[in-house]
Amino acid sequence: MAKAAQVEIPQTSDAAEAPPAPKAGRRKLILIAAAVVILLGAAAGAAWFFAQSDEAEPPVAKGKAAAKAKDKAKDKEPEKEKKPSVFMSMDTFTVNLQEENGEHYLQTSVVFEVSDDKTADLIKTQMPVIRSKMLLLLSSKRPSEIKTLEGKEKLASEIANEARKHAKLKSPELALTNVHFNAFVIQ
């Protein structure tokens, strides 16, 4: 018989297909270290952000205990509903001022700030009288009296007093809270 040639077939092993164990461990270690660095950076950024926003608050309000005490105080106090103000614009006033180094006139636009619609209705019913009193008051002023900030504030107070008096706003709920000028020109 003839001798058969033996052919060796190379055998594949599982070890040759898989990457070596030390390289896989190194990659995992690098990924874990990178993740830790990213998390620490995010935590530091968050801490800085919240530290910045805490500086705007008063020091008493810092901490959980202070926040709880503040919440308890809110629960004990009855909350008053603050209604938004109602604004009443009036027509523009143009009046001659008292003479002072020549003729001058004032052109102004006034807005009443009132507590609610009921007060606004009361003022509207008396508007002809209030406008008349305002014209007389404005025309009685000298330019030097109303040129300064203090003069304008005093004039606003006088207008408010006249309006309150003639609209008969005597109860505290019915209030003309402020008088604002939308325009104020002296020439």
CATH superfamily of 86-186: Band 7 domain (3.30.479.30)
What is the Cα–Cα distance from 168 to 160, expressed in whole angstroms? 12
Q: Which residue has the tokens 């910045």?
A: 52
Segment 29-38 shows an average pLDDT of 85
**Share of residues in the chain with pLDDT > 70 (%):** 68
pLDDT at res. 33: 85
pLDDT, position 61 = 47
Evaluate if residue 41 carries a pLDDT over 60. Answer: yes
Burial class of 179 by CB neighbour count within 10 A (0 to 12, 13 to 18, 19+) = buried
Confidence check: pLDDT of 86 > 60: yes
Amino acid letter at 139?
S
Instruction: State the angle between helix axes of 149-167 and 127-139 in degrees (0 to 180), rounded to the nearest 10.
Output: 150
Residues 139 and 97: beta-carbon distance below 8 Å? yes
pLDDT confidence bin for 106, thresholds 50/70/90: very high
User: Which residue do the tokens 């509903």 mark?
Assistant: 81
pTM (2 d.p.)? 0.55
pLDDT tens sequence across 54-74: 555 554 445 555 555 555 555
pLDDT at residue 84, as a whole number: 85
Give the Cα-Cα-Cα angle 10, 12, 15 (nearest 5 degrees). Answer: 140
Q: What is the mean pLDDT of the chain?
A: 78
* Per-residue confidence (pLDDT) for residue 54, from 0 to 100: 52
pLDDT of 181 above 60:
yes
Token pair, residue 175, equals 């209030």
pLDDT for res 25:
75
Domains in the chain: boundaries: 22-75, 86-186
State the pLDDT at residue 92: 93
